[in-house]
Amino acid sequence: MNVIVLGCGRVGAELAYRLFRRGHQVAVVDPDPAALRTLPADFRGRMIQGEVLDQDVLRRAGIEHADAVAAVTPSDAVNAVVAHVARVVFHVPAIVARNYEPGKRALYEAFGLQVVSPSSWGAQRIEEMLSPAALHTVFSAGNGEVELYELLVPEAWAGRSLDDLVAGCQCRIMALTRAGRARLPEPGDRLEAGDVIHVGATREGIEELRRQLEALEEA
């Protein structure tokens, strides 16, 4: 895969090196030559000094034949615009842009771009880790809009229906593991102590499920 990484800060340098180590053809673009020098000594990708918004620079990086572009400069506006140019002008198949300020995420969404927002995602993860809960996140899609949670069923919930557990929530039971064997849940399945269930949910759905679980514990 031919990949162009636009921006060689901490994230850009780490991403470029990881892609290179996996055998991809990587080009890194940054206006600051000192930033390019932060790449590990054994990095053998291409390093292009220049402004990422300059289409001639993008062509030097090989954007006309690129399979993917990652826009990870320190500027939200630059990331959104150059990602849009990569898609509309150069028709790059896979494009991801990094969002720094959560308030500017709408800029990316207006362009219909895939976006990674570390600030929003990180704050949400820390909030969950600070809150005592029976639910633990095992996978996060996008920036946490939908997540997969793991729940160990305590004795107090034994005999209850899986359907009742998620009734009225924006949640779906994805898997039920019992005695080490996982399977897809069936309608009417009853919980047993020690079961492990995996729940796919929106943020609103998981908060509602937490409230229902707390109510079960108090009952």
pLDDT at 131: 57
**Total count of domains within the chain:** 2
**Using an 8 Å Cβ cutoff, are 138 and 120 in contact?**
no
Residue 196: beta bridge partners? 152, 177
171 alpha carbon, distance to own chain's centre: 19
* Together in a domain, 38 and 106: yes
CA distance 17 to 40: 7
Domain that holds residue 197: 126-218
pLDDT at 142: 76
CATH of the domain at 179: 3.30.70.1450
- Give the residues of the chain that fall short of pLDDT 50: none
- Reported pTM: 0.66
| Sign of the torsion angle spanned by Cα atoms 114, 120, 122, 128 | negative
* Together in a domain, 78 and 142: no
* Together in a domain, 32 and 89: yes
pLDDT at 128: 61
Q: Cα dist. 59→62, 102, 164 in Å?
A: 5, 31, 57
pLDDT at 125: 66
